[in-house]
Structure 1
Amino acid sequence: MDTNLPVSAHPRVVIVGCGFGGLKLAQELADAPVQVVMVDRNNYHNFQPLLYQVATGALEADSIAYPVRKIFAGQKNFFFRMADVKGVAKATNTLETSIGDIRYDYLVLATGSLTNFFGIESIEKNAMQIKSIPNALNLRSFIFQNFEQALLTTDPEEKQALLNIVVVGGGPTGVEISGSLAEMRKHVLPNDYPEMDLTQMQIFLVEAGPALLGPMSKASQEDAKRYLDELGVEVRLNTAMKKYENGRAYYSDTEFIPTENMVWAAGVNGSALPGLPEAAITRNKRITVNLWNQVQGETNIFAIGDVANMVTEEMPRGLPMLAPVAQQQAAHLAANLQRILRGETPKDFKYLDKGVMAIVSRNKAVVDLPKGVHFKGFLGWLSWLFIHLILLVGFRNKMVALVDWAFSYFSSGQALRLIIRPFNKRDVKDDKGKKAAEQAAATPEYNPTPSAVQQPASAG
């Protein structure tokens, strides 16, 4: 047991996941009288809000990833183990992992979210997603492989399907990747594929609800749609996808869009673990927590970020799955854990809404701030760049991203459109594996409701 972790006289806090929440919590506990053990399947922190730029070749993968051990170098009470988590054994206070059991005094779940396919098997099997760096790299390779194939085929229907891209989900992720693809079509692909008629390439953004960016202001919704219209993206609202097979994306029993490229960004589920009380698991697989982030019915198990379903008077459906929520909950929980160790009563969490934003393309973004403040265009775009640059982990990553953004702003010649590892979606399963399949299958049918704003989504 304990996978060679050192014995400590201090209580052990085990954190599952190094997303925005897990990262912040471990940092906030640096000087606390506890032993911090983090478990994650990857040995890096992944900056999810910029995954779409990796998928479209605007950034390289190592620009948005940073090694966990390097982040916490010098933090003496921190220990990291790379493993898949299998479940929680509450009776023995142990976390079951692929490398053995890990004992905990306090367990914090910051496991983030998984793609929700709403039980549509054909979409889960055939569509692409961008929830992880492998997903983004697979999507990038797959799109450019299809462009190469389009050059070879003489069948007009097959060529059209290879060139068409359908993005499902009108939240920030869907809006941002649609805008990025439209910019690529205009500024990049004409140089790479001069012999191809790119007027045939169509980009569709399909949203089940009546507006893009559902929870954002009406002004942001209208501005985002107008920007996408200007970029030549065909936006289809009030349209729910039914199935996707044989290169056809069906939005009714008989009507479809021919495409070999479907990007699914329509929804997410929480990433709960086996062993937790069933009463605490909600319909969308989030974990019900109180205002101290304690899991319902538990005293030493907590959840933060995307996986935590914290209901407040202001948000009766639960706090949104946003990075600021995860970070604020992490900082608050770090303080509460120390209060518990001192024998004090924890304090209730209060979310400070700092606003939400979405970028559409260069010089085009929308920003909603508290008290009804809204702005857009170039100022919104600069704000988006600044916030995301600040949030990136590591000085090198900040500088690389800044240079890449500056270069791409003035030139379309960035050499990131490489098919280094060819991808065949028929042979490679989603990196979330069986867990994603089980959660999707357990979810009710896809209903035509607006996509939730997930920007910036986080791994809890």
Structure 2
Amino acid sequence: MNIPRSSFPRIVIIGGGFAGIALAKKLRNKNVQVVLLDKHNYHTFQPLLYQVATGGLEAGSIAYPIRKVVQDYDNFYFRLAQVKEIDTETRKVTADIGDLYYDYLVIATGSKTNYFGNKEIEKNSMAMKTIPQSLNIRSLILENFEQALLTNDINERLSLMNFVIVGGGPTGVELAGALAEMKKAILPKDYPDLDVRKMEINLIQGTDKILDAMSPKASRKAEEFLSGLGVSIWKNVRVTNYDGKTVTTNSDLTFESATVIWTAGVKGAAIKG
């Protein structure tokens, strides 16, 4: 990795997210050598990914170059790398660009989408944890509306205009609201010869309230607001499968949809070792 030797202890930080960047700032110009590794050369402001997915913001608005953050830090090095494995016995990090030995290691790799072992859902649904994934969702939304204009099959058209969001946490709620705003203010102007009123936004939540981790009042207000925007909220419903066309649940409820966005949970982005 071409990291010079140092008489100071070497601290390796894996991950340039909120935690990794915050620690890097705390270690600025201390008597340590800091090496920050990340698979991207930019920091992503993840709370606004839904805005990129729905066209409210461009990707550059929520991405900031990591090198620009640390360019004035002494004895600090950034490497664009995908970490493959950690050997705690020899204190070695193995990445796609080579090996690196450390004195102290901080794993700040964040989380990734959790499909709870359902490979079919993982294969056919859309996730929204990165900027490329958000851009893919934006492209799919527009492609579906273009296709809806061309098809003469009513059922296919309705499927193309039916958006199913699985997971009523903050991400799912924000995304549902942003899609509803698109339906109200943007899509009718962009697609005047398409009956956008037939667009459906379905938010599916496995528990008895959305924003389950927040207060009952916040949950109730959010539900009222989304319902007012025309979002259909389904509570105490769990999605069991999605084959690319039909969403099946643990009840008799099914949805015909060309777009399923999975925001139903995350898990730690673990590294081998």
The change in CA–CA distance for 1:31 and 1:76 in structure 2 (over 3 A counts) is: closer
Q: Which has the higher contact order (CA 8 A, sep 6+)?
A: 1
Task: Establish whether residue 206 from structure 1 lines up as the match of residue 196 from structure 2.
Answer: no
Q: Which amino acid aligns with 2:194?
A: M
The one-letter code matched in structure 1 to 2:91 is N
1:22 and 2:20 equivalent?
Answer: yes
Q: 1:223 aligns with which of 207, 221, 224?
A: 221
Q: Which amino acid aligns with 2:37?
A: V
Shift of 1:255: 3.8
Aligned to 1:92: 90
Cα shift readout 1:396-448 (whole Å, capped 9, x = no counterpart):
xxxxxxxxxxxxxxxxxxxxxxxxxxxxxxxxxxxxxxxxxxxxxxxxxxxxx
Q: How far apart in 2 are the matches of 1:266 and 1:253?
A: 17
Is 1:256 matched up with 2:259?
no
Q: Which amino acid aligns with 2:133?
A: N
Q: Which runs of 5+ in 1 are unaligned?
A: 276-460
**Deviation (angstroms), 1:256:** 1.3
Residue 145 (str. 1) matches residue 154 (str. 2): no
Shift of 1:165: 0.2
Does the CA-based 8 Å contact 2:29-2:74 persist in structure 1? Answer: no
SS for the counterpart of 1:4 is coil
Shift of 1:254: 5.7
Shift of 1:253: 7.0
Give the secondary-structure state (helix, strand or coil) at the position aligned to 1:263. Answer: strand
- Match of 1:86, SS? strand
Name which of 127, 130, 134 aligns with 1:129.
Answer: 127
Q: Deviations over 1:96-130 (max 9, x none)?
A: 10011111000000000010001111110000011
Structure 2 partner of 1:168: 166
Cα distance in structure 1, aligned partners of 2:19 and 2:241: 34
- 2:30 is the counterpart of 1:32: yes
Moved over 2 A (4+): 252-255
CA distance in 2, matches of 1:185, 1:273: 41
Equivalent position SS for 1:6: coil
Shift of 1:71: 1.0
Aligned residues between the structures:
273
The structure whose residues are more often strand, as a share, is 2
1:217 maps to a residue whose letter is S
Kindly report which structure 2 residues correspond to 1:176-187, keeping only aligned pairs within 5 A, or say none: 176-187=174-185
Deviations 1:252-308 (CA, angstroms, capped at 9, x unpaired): 476410100101000000112111xxxxxxxxxxxxxxxxxxxxxxxxxxxxxxxxx
Which has the higher mean CA deviation after the structures are superposed, 13-22 or 67-76?
A: 67-76
Write the distance in 2 (CA, Å) between the matches of 1:177 and 1:141: 15
Return the alpha-carbon distance in structure 2 between the equivalents of residues 52 and 129 of structure 1: 11
State the percentage of identical aligned residues: 49
The two structures, once aligned, show a CA RMSD in angstroms of 0.9
Q: CA deviation at 1:51?
A: 0.4
Equivalent runs, 1:390-429 vs 2, <5 Å: none
Maintained 8 Å contact 1:242/1:253: no
Calculate the TM-score normalised by the size of structure 2. 0.98
Taking structure 1 as the reference length, the TM-score comes to 0.59
Give the secondary structure class of the aligned counterpart of 1:91. coil
Q: Mark the runs of 5 or more structure 2 residues left unpaired by the alignment.
A: none
